[in-house]
Structure 1
Amino acid sequence: MSAEPGTVRPGGRTARVRAAVLRAAGDVLAEHGFAHLDLADVARRAEVGKTTVYRRWGSVTGLVADLLADMAEQSLPREETGTVLGDLRANARLVQRTLADPRQGALFRAVIAAATCDERTAHALRRFYEIRVAEWAPCVEQGVARGELPPGTDAGEVVRAVSAPLYYALLTTGTPPAPAAADRAARAAFAAAVAGVYATP
């Protein structure tokens, strides 16, 4: 994605325009879903010219891809507690808080729904989770090094096992997961990892 000619100015106008447009796009997704995301409406909400939005993002899917990239960049960094279980619980609680947030939870539901029928959105969503899993994988790797988990444990699989039940609960019940569900997901993933479920033979 290249910036529109003339938007790179002192004071970071390009960054301000991107932030305003992505915020507006996120609002529309959270309020109305992917089907109602329109570049002209986003430009109006962001108070920027339609030409700017069309030139920079080109399409709704291009805008959603950039929104997901921005969300990955803005996500909180990994928390280190000193134990694998503590780290996995911190990860689970971060996911739970995100999904329980009225705006963020609705936004994720909209993007996940869109990803089922749009390949570019699906690719952007996979990339988002690749970044987040890579951010948290070291907590598992450190646990292996400390002897808390078996050698050969697949760090990415353990991290995904933590968040999977939380997303599943949201998508199948429509109800955001509670903190207790986050703790349960972390304990389950940890127990499975200790038992060698995620270790490479």
Structure 2
Amino acid sequence: MRIVGGQFRGRALVAPEGQGTRPTSDRAREALFNVLAHASWAPDLNGARVIDLFAGSGALGFEAISRGASFCLFVETDDDARGSIRENAENLGLFGKTRVHRRSATDLGVRPGSAGEAFTVAFLDPPYGKGLGEQTLTKLIEGDWLAPEAVVVFERAADDLDLQAPGYQLVDERTWGAARVWFLKKSA
């Protein structure tokens, strides 16, 4: 697995061993970042504050930083996955631009002052078929984690039912292989 664009293009990323995580493929990552780069509704990644929930290896957050994001908060409960995120941050020299938050994405609480300003882009790549992403969408709004009109990129299984996302507007939807990705904008 490699970063597919930006400053760190071609640099390898490590992922936790085993079946506990399912990293977004390089091809799907490249496609979703192309959507973000060219859509009129998407915020500029240059200088963006990003939160990567159910982060796994952190590939989505590291890709965002490679493409100009100023900071990424990785939210992950799995010890091995957090270790991979830290190893990737070290290998890329990004400790000042990243932080790892050991907390369930479905139980975020209120955004603490130490987390900095609200986030302009959020990536959700939860385990498929468990409804965890929908819970997290609610928690992001309740806890004031998202900036006004923030964009959420939500990956689910291609055969999952249509998304119910109160507080968000669906602005685009794509399917790449086994993944369906919804691009949501936080309602004003």
- TM-score after normalising by structure 1: 0.25
The structure, 1 or 2, with the larger RCO (C-alpha pairs under 8 Å, 6+ apart) is: 1
Q: By percentage of residues, which structure has more helix?
A: 1
- TM-score after normalising by structure 2: 0.27
Structure 1 or 2, whichever has the larger Rg, is: 1
